[in-house]
């Protein structure tokens, strides 16, 4: 009898010990489930290449929670919730590359898509070399300015064919996503510059090392043999504030500290800034059907005077602009009017007439459809209504080149400007729209 009593006591002790272990296991499983759901909620990722860039973005977005990667041991993201202008919010993951470079950035974007299955946009944010043009104030980028991609996107300046004594450029250009381009243009058109208020707040929070250097520190030289070059008079520039430039951004795997090479890149590609990750982000995003944008703060002139004195401020202004840009993008599942909409999937695409959905491409078809919903020239032209109706009824018969033409129109800066002019009551230039309609009528 005593034997059975002792055995019962041992069982009770084991049960009491097992219960906390089971509760701990359940708690861990619950935490893992929650983290898995968080990975699915992330729709935007921001890539940075330097610690100063990473810190500036985390401060600008008020990042809080840490999230470990599902696909790479030891990698951790910082998370932020960014309120959208149309209601709802974005869950944003911020990551820091181990080293700078096109390949490193491309690999990280691919890894991000594996970590976050519902990823929609990737933004490359950080510092860059300014590409000044003293002969033209409109394209003269100075230190402490902000450069953002326009519809020309990122161009890899060191991609081409090497001939004897010269290099033949063979760049690839991929435009940023239409949604991010529209948000960029809206920020410019509104004229309120919401990033400037963020810049002031970040300077106060991060301390004097991050404050804008004095204007006397912005000195442009072309070689050791020449003195400083005068900056052109620019009525659009305000003292002590960054000027915003939209244009192509040149990307390469080498650090440029040669004024001749810098000027060649500017003149050959019409670029406004020079950096080392953007083309990797653009190519990977295109392959993954993910939208991208590149935002840069300028910190040097790519010459012999290249140093780190403008690094922190350049990282800060790029982060402040990125925060303002993300706030201007409608949250996933919310349209520009604040209404909840369903994402375009395979089934809904078939209903809309995308019979050859895979051939056309998921991203292009989805972006085309989303922009048809907001295509509006007001009363400026009945042709706009014709275009919308034609695409609505006959998308199934579109050839891929015509879909590309439509896509190119929708992301084109001139087209976006036309929409803004139409809505402001002025008479827009509809020549590009008319040319596209002529091609469509010929194809029909």
Could you read off the pLDDT tens digit of each residue along the chain, which spans 444 residues? 555 445 555 555 565 555 555 554 444 444 455 555 889 999 999 999 999 999 999 999 999 889 999 988 889 999 999 988 877 889 999 999 988 899 999 999 999 999 999 999 999 999 999 999 999 999 999 999 999 999 899 998 888 787 888 877 787 788 898 899 999 999 988 888 999 999 999 999 999 999 999 999 999 987 655 678 899 999 999 999 999 999 999 998 888 888 889 999 999 999 999 999 999 999 999 989 899 999 999 999 998 888 889 999 999 999 999 999 999 998 875 444 444 443 333 332 332 233 333 333 444 444 444 444 334 444 334 444 445 454 444 444 444 555 555 545 554 555 555 555 554 555 445 555 555 555 544 544
Per the confidence metrics, is the pTM higher than 0.75?
no
Domain layout of the chain by residue ranges: 40-327, 346-443
Superfamily of domain covering 40-327: Nucleoside phosphorylase domain (3.40.50.1580)
Which of 131, 134, 130, 112 lies closest to 122 in space, CA to CA?
Answer: 112
- Model pLDDT for residues 99-135, shown as the tens digit of each residue: 889 999 999 999 999 999 999 999 999 999 999 999 9
Rounded-to-10 torsion of CA 181, 316, 320, 215: -90
Q: Look at the alpha carbons of 40, 41, 43, 46 in this order and tell me if their dihedral is positive or negative.
A: negative
249 neighbors 155 (Cβ within 8 angstroms) = yes
Per residue, the 3-state secondary structure of the chain, as one string, reads CHHHHHHHHHHHHHHHHHHHHHHHHHHHHHHHHHHHHHHHHCCEEEEECCHHHHHHHHHHCCCCCEEECCCCCCCEEEEEEEECCCCCEEEEEEEECCCCCHHHHHHHHHHHHHHCCCCCEEEEEEEEEECCCCCCHHHCCCCCCEEEEEEEEEEECCCEEEECCEEEECCCEECCCHHHHHHHHHHHHHCCCHHHHHHHHHHHHHCHHHCCCCHHHCCECCCCCCCCECCCCCCCCCCCCCCEEEEEEEECCCCCCCHHHHHHHHHHHCCCEEECCHHHHHHHHHHHCCEEEEEEEEEECCCCCCCCCCHHHHHHHHHHHHHHHHHCCCCCCECCCCCECCCCCHHHHHHCCCCCHHHHCHHHHHHHHHHHHHCCCCCCCCHHHHHHHHHHHHHHHCCHHHHHHHHHHHHCHHHHHHHHHHHCCCCCCCHHHHHHHHHHHHHC
Count of C-beta atoms within a 10 Å radius of residue 252: 21
Distance CA 91, CA 332 (A): 10
User: Which pair of structure tokens corresponds to residue 242?
Assistant: 């960054």
Strands 121-130 and 89-96, sheet pairing:
unpaired
């Amino acid at each position: 009898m005593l034997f059975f009593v002792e055995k019962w006591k041992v069982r009770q002790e084991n049960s009491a010990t097992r219960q906390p272990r089971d509760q701990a296991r359940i708690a861990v499983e619950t935490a893992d489930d929650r983290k898995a759901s968080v990975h699915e909620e992330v729709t935007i990722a921001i890539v940075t290449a330097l610690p100063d860039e990473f810190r500036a973005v985390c401060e600008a977005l008020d990042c809080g929670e840490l999230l470990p990667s599902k696909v790479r041991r030891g990698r951790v993201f910082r998370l932020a919730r960014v309120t959208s202008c149309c209601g709802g919010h974005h869950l944003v993951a911020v990551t820091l590359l181990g080293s700078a470079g096109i390949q490193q950035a491309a690999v990280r974007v691919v890894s991000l898509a594996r970590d976050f299955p519902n990823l929609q946009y990737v933004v490359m944010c950080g510092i860059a070399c300014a590409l000044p043009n003293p002969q033209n104030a409109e394209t003269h980028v100075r230190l402490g300015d902000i450069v953002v991609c326009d519809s020309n996107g990122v161009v890899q300046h060191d991609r081409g064919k090497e001939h004897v004594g010269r290099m033949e450029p063979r760049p690839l250009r991929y435009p940023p996503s239409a949604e991010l381009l529209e948000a960029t243009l809206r920020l410019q058109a509104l004229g309120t510059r919401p990033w400037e208020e963020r810049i002031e707040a970040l300077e106060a929070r991060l301390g004097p090392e991050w404050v804008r250097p004095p204007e006397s520190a912005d000195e442009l030289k072309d070689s050791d043999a020449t003195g400083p070059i005068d900056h052109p008079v620019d009525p659009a520039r305000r003292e002590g504030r960054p000027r915003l430039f939209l244009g192509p951004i040149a990307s390469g795997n080498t650090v440029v500290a040669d004024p001749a090479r810098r000027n060649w890149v500017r003149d050959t590609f019409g670029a406004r800034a020079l950096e080392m990750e953007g083309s990797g982000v653009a190519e990977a995003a295109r392959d993954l059907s993910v939208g991208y944008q590149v935002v840069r703060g300028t910190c040097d002139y790519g010459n012999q005077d290249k140093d780190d004195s403008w690094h922190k401020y350049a990282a800060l202004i790029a982060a402040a602009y990125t925060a303002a840009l993300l706030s201007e993008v409608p949250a996933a599942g919310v349209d520009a009017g604040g209404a909840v909409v369903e994402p375009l999937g395979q089934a809904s695409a078939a209903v809309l007439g995308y019979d050859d959905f895979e051939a056309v491409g998921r991203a292009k078809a989805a972006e085309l459809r989303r922009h048809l919903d907001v295509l509006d020239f007001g009363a400026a032209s009945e042709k706009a209504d014709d275009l919308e109706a034609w695409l609505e009824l006959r998308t199934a018969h579109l050839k891929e080149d015509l879909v590309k033409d439509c896509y190119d129109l929708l992301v084109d800066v001139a087209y976006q400007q036309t929409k803004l002019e139409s809505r402001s009551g002025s008479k827009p230039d509809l020549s590009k729209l008319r040319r596209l309609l002529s091609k469509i009528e010929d194809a029909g």
